[in-house]
Amino acid sequence: MASTFDVVFRGGTVVNQDGTAGRDIGVIGGRIAEIGEIDPARAGEIVDCRGLHVLPGVIDSQVHFREPGAEHKEDLETGSLGAVMGGVTTVFEMPNTTPLTVTRETLEDKIRRARHRMHCDFAFWVGGTHGNAEEVQELERLPGAAGIKIFMGASTGDLLVPDDEGVEAILSHTSRRVAVHSEDEYRLIERKGLRVEGDPSSHPVWRDEVAALRCTERLVRIARKTGARIHLLHVSTAEEMDYIRAHKEYASVEVTPQHLTFTADDYATLGTRLQMNPPIRAPHHRDGIWQGLWQGVADVLGSDHAPHTLEEKAKPYPASPSGMTGVQTLVPIMLDHVNAGRLSLERFVDLTSAGPLRLFGIAGKGRIAVGYDADLTIVDLKRRETIRDNWIASRSAWTPYDGKTVTGWPVGTVIRGRRVMWEGELTTPSGGEPLRFLEALPKSV
Ligand code: DOR
């Protein structure tokens, strides 16, 4: 009998919109064609998933892969290798490269570089600036664009729109959700003197919670005025969580594994490895972010994978750059939180696939459902592993979690039906493709 399915993922515990249960997944032409009990005789290939959980492919909607311009830290190939090694099937990459991704040409250049060189599927955020505010509506709809990203506080690179007028000009020209790095640049400038040479624990003193909250309040005001939808990246304070819960119709929320895991106490051991923007803060902020997650205020998890070399990180604070790797550790760190009882596996799935699908309107991804791309993150919830710098595929080759033992591990990354990573091995040549979005689907005749 001719086989019906190219491949069947068999015997795993599938977690999707129907709950958590043992089901087989049959794939034809890269898409999910059947879910249920499938006769193995109908399978061209069988992937044995017994003892494993099969999750919708994890979407990381905030990574910095540094290409073009800073390939000594990372490039699209190495960054995406880290993604698939860590169970991530799709990334949205950030525009603070050199040149900045702020025009049609720079976006098309990234897509050209990425197609079939990246290991996972991808979209690129386009930077909103004073110079391109009139064009953002066109830019946000280009093929492969995730939407517009604004930096209101300066971080790595030259993207910056600190003023209400500039932000309003952009928001009034967009119709897709706009991602924002929300720290009040004016307050950051005022407080620069509070940085203590050689002491990264002064980072959250300089870039304090007021800078984050004040900016988020300004932004929500502008969103209400313009009717725009905003996406607050890496929310880092308890106060913002409290504020946003009253303004959810305008603002969606990203939280990061690092803000849920570390506190300012960890600067003592991790030093500049822990330095990022917005900063890792006092324990009550971590608790407030968990509260926001438990209460449903948080919509997605993003890693803010922002690699810098260890040599750069070894410069004395504040000459050390802000950012840490994270795309490869997002799944194991969060599964460890699942095993510790801090969130359910269903909530993890909500944050890493259903959430991005809901916010960004991704076409054909984000669900284990018939007709969707067969993107799967296959995990062993019981497996204990110790995360080490030498496991990290990033060109920067380090992680703030070096030496941390976790329970729960990604054992398979499946993208459009192809096993890309299995048991820690890269099993398929790179075949990354740009995403399509519902709000920008090309019209066909
Ligand atoms: O710490 C950070 N590093 N925060 C950002 O917003 C940018 C990022 C980077 O690109 O290095």
Q: What are phi and psi of 184, to 5 degrees?
A: -75, 110
DSSP state letter for 214: H
How far away, in angstroms, is 155 Cα from ligand 1 center?
6
pLDDT the model gives residue 445:
66
The phi and psi torsions of 14 (rounded to 5 degrees) equal -90, 130
Contact between residue 36 and residue 388 where contact means Cβ atoms under 8 Å apart: no
Closest ligand 1 atom to Cα of 233:
6
Measure 235 CA to ligand 1 centroid, in angstroms: 13
By alpha-carbon position, which residue is closest to atom 10 of ligand 1? 156
Percent of the chain residues topping a pLDDT of 90? 97
**Which atom belonging to ligand 1 lies closest to the Cα atom of 96?**
10
3-class SS at 150?
Answer: strand
Handedness of CA 308, 67, 304, 160 (dihedral sign): positive
Rg of the chain over Cα atoms, rounded to whole angstroms, equals: 21
DSSP structural state of residue 305: B
Going from the Cα of 428 to the center of ligand 1, the distance in angstroms, rounded, reads 31
Which atom in ligand 1 lies closest to the alpha carbon of residue 64? Answer: 10
Whole-number Å distance, alpha carbon 268 to ligand 1 midpoint, is 21
Q: Is the pTM above the cut of 0.85?
A: yes
The strand order across the sheet containing 121-127 reads 58-63, 88-93, 121-127, 145-151, 178-181, 230-232, 251-255, 300-301
Longest distance between any two alpha carbons in the chain, whole Å = 75
| Per-residue pLDDT at 1 | 54
Nearest-CA residue for ligand 1 atom 3 is 323
Active site (catalytic) residues:
304
Residues with C-beta less than 6 Å from any ligand 1 atom: 64, 96, 155-156, 181, 276-277, 306, 322-323
- Residue 2: pLDDT band (50, 70, 90) is low
Q: At what angle do helices 209-226 and 164-171 cross, to 10 degrees?
A: 40
Residues 6+ apart with CB under 8 A from 67: 74, 75, 76, 79, 97, 110, 113
Residue to mutate, 63, 259, 322, ligand 1, most ligand atoms under 8 Å from C-beta: 322
Query: Which pLDDT belongs to residue 158?
Result: 80
**322 close to 156: Cβ distance less than 8 angstroms:** yes
Residues 6+ apart with CB under 8 A from 404: 333, 386, 387
Which residues, other chains included, contact 110 with Cβ-Cβ below 8 Å and sequence gap of 6+?
A: 67, 68, 76, 93, 97, 101, 124, 144
Give the tens place of pLDDT for each residue, 340-376. 999 999 999 999 999 999 999 999 999 999 999 999 9
Dihedral, CA of residue 12, residue 15, residue 18 and residue 23, to nearest 10: -10
Model confidence at 441, pLDDT cuts 50, 70, 90, reads confident
